[in-house]
Chains A and B, each alone.
Chain A
Amino acid sequence: MTLAFLNLTWPTFANGLALGGVYALMAVGIGLVFGVLRLVNFAYGQLIMAGAFALAYGSQWGFPNWASILFCFGVVLGLSILMDWLVFRPLRTHSPAVMLVATFAVAFLLQNIALLAFGPLGKSAGSLAILNAPWDVGGVFIKKIAVISVATAAGCLVILQLLLTRTPLGLHMRAASMDFRTARLLGVRANRVISGAVIISGLFAAVSAVMLSVQELTVVPAFGTQDTILVLAGVVLGGLNRPVPATLGGFAIGFANGILGGVLPSNQSQYLPSFLFAAVIVVLLVRPDGLFTRARGSVERV
């Protein structure tokens, strides 16, 4: 481990920050939908996968980058809304466990659709891959995408924070995630709040898709699945029903993943998932409500 810390360089640190930023966005995307629907969307990774494929095809078809990114946003948003209509809303009144298994099924379904449609070999992120070129920041070479990811994630989170605290829709979403029933009795429109959460969550999935497909280079049908599992762990680690702790949890696990993956020798880094999940389990045992929350009652609705 001591050796590992000696290996920590600025580029590795930047990559850790970049992955942490993307995971934080994913955590918020998952957390927002959980807040209003009490539904853990396991299929979130497949939204990202679909977006990444859209990017790859966009660049294969010779779209300019801005058009590829727009195409990616369109695909992810469309799929989010479809998922909301076909799966989330019909399941709204079911138990959290049923909803989790159902989104598990959707994830599996979408992954296999991708396997059938795009094959197992995967595609390259295409023309956006040039963002992996380094920038010279005071003698330290840092990948452009790392800087862009951190800046974009920070920007998205600030905008979301403003939306949640400064607009009526944001206030309604926060209230709905605390007590949906009372919020409705006060005139908060359930459908609008749910649509708001689903759309923001979809937007963040699209942003994550762009960042991740540049960072990870190849898009395969399983793209995003492992990331989603880690983010879910991070979100539960932070505290599922609290936006800020959930974001911190997502960031922490992404940062740890990025840093440790960079500094550990490969005979240790291959066990990285084990270390991360062991840490998650330990935290869950000590603080079942999350690491970054004040001790209080369980957030689950019975």
Chain B
Amino acid sequence: MSALVVERLSVRYGAVEAVRGLSLEVRPGEIVGLIGPNGAGKSSTLHAIMGAVPVSGGAVRYDGRSLLSRRPEDVARRGIALVPEGRRIFGELTVEENLRLGLAARRARRNGGGLARAYELFPVLRDFRTRQAGVLSGGQQQQLAIGRALAADPDVLLLDEPSLGLAPKIVDVVFEALTQIREAGLAVLLVEQRAQRTVALADRSYVLANGELRLTLGPEDAGDTDRLVAAYLA
């Protein structure tokens, strides 16, 4: 089966090395968490996979083929969807138009995904489909961002802090959706600040600090607060 493989990935901005030699793998039907303090290199990793920032070393492969030095739109068209940090929905477009935008990356000869997929997972989007997306609440916008990514019928879903700034109840909705997405067979790479919840949800979680992999945790470690704190402080 096809898996997203990151090998010894390095990203540098001028003199600053944001990611140093990071390796990880995400297989279909699993959620891999990527946690760590601010500036640890989590978002840089996602953007490097998407081809949105230049990679200074290492490899990113999907389905056995390298994704390096491809344009972001081409990576998206290979079946890798990003839910960006801050949601980045188009506030002046309607909800439906935002979802249609997600179709841009849908590959030919595939019938999955589409608007129906998003409406099925987040019924609230159907109710608001003719509204301007800018008037939705933060939680609804996050659902829209995830729905938009799913409309492309991707095989791999990358999420950049989907719970940021959301009320706990809405976070439950988002995490529940992630479970369903995993059950549908997608490979999910989840960047999060909510460490404990992520560790509990994910099949594996990597703790990143200073651009380096510090620790690998399984769901059984979710209750082990000491280990988590130690990893963050290390």
A and B touch in the complex (CB under 8 A): yes
Asked whether A185 lies within 8 Å of B92 as measured between CB atoms, the reply is no
Q: How far is the CA of A171 from the CA of B96 in the complex (A)?
A: 11
Question: Which of A102-110, A141-149, A187-195, A213-221 is near enough to bind chain B?
Answer: A187-195
Closest to A165 in B: B97
Q: Specify which chain B residues have a CB less than 8 angstroms from the CB of A175 in the assembled complex.
A: 90, 93, 101
Closest to A192 in B: B73
Residue B59, interface by CB 8 Å: no
Asked whether A188 lies within 8 Å of B73 as measured between CB atoms, the reply is yes
Contact partner of B100 among A171, A183, A185, CB < 8 A?
A: A171
Q: A150-186 toward B: CB 8 Å interface, digit per residue (1/0)?
A: 0000000000000000001001101100110111111
Bin chain B's interface residue count.
20 to 34
Asked whether A184 lies within 8 Å of B71 as measured between CB atoms, the reply is yes
Asked whether A185 lies within 8 Å of B77 as measured between CB atoms, the reply is no
Q: Specify which chain A residues have a CB less than 8 angstroms from the CB of B100 in the assembled complex.
A: 168, 171
Known: A185-B76, A189-B73. A178 touches B90 (CB 8 A): yes
Q: Specify which chain B residues have a CB less than 8 angstroms from the CB of A183 in the assembled complex.
A: 101, 104
Residue B6, interface by CB 8 Å: no
Q: How far is the CA of A172 from the CA of B73 in the complex (A)?
A: 12
Q: How far is the CA of A183 from the CA of B73 in the complex (A)?
A: 8
Q: Specify which chain B residues have a CB less than 8 angstroms from the CB of A188 in the assembled complex.
A: 73, 101, 104
Asked whether B73 lies within 8 Å of A184 as measured between CB atoms, the reply is yes
A278 → chain B closest CB, angstroms = 33
- Chain A interfacial residues counted at CB < 8 A: 17
Chain B CB within 10 A, most for which of A175, A184, A187: A187
Q: How far is the CA of A230 from the CA of B88 in the complex (A)?
A: 36
Asked whether A186 lies within 8 Å of B104 as measured between CB atoms, the reply is yes
Asked whether A168 lies within 8 Å of B84 as measured between CB atoms, the reply is no
Asked whether A187 lies within 8 Å of B77 as measured between CB atoms, the reply is yes
B58 → chain A closest CB, angstroms = 21
A184 → chain B closest CB, angstroms = 4
Q: How far is the CA of A197 from the CA of B74 in the complex (A)?
A: 20
14 contacts between A and B (CB under 8 A): A168-B100, A171-B100, A171-B101, A175-B101, A181-B52, A182-B84, A183-B101, A185-B84, A186-B104, A187-B76, A187-B105, A187-B152, A188-B73, A188-B101
Q: Chain B residues in contact with chain A, CB under 8 A? A: 50, 52, 71-73, 76-77, 81-82, 84, 88, 90, 92-93, 97, 100-106, 148-149, 152
Additional A-B contact list (5), CB under 8 Å, known A172-B104, A188-B73, A189-B104: A178-B92, A185-B88, A186-B73, A186-B76, A186-B148
Leading 8 A-B pairs by shortest Cβ distance: A187-B105, A187-B76, A187-B104, A182-B88, A184-B72, A188-B104, A184-B73, A189-B73
Q: Chain A residues in contact with chain B, CB under 8 A? A: 168, 171-172, 174-175, 178-179, 181-190
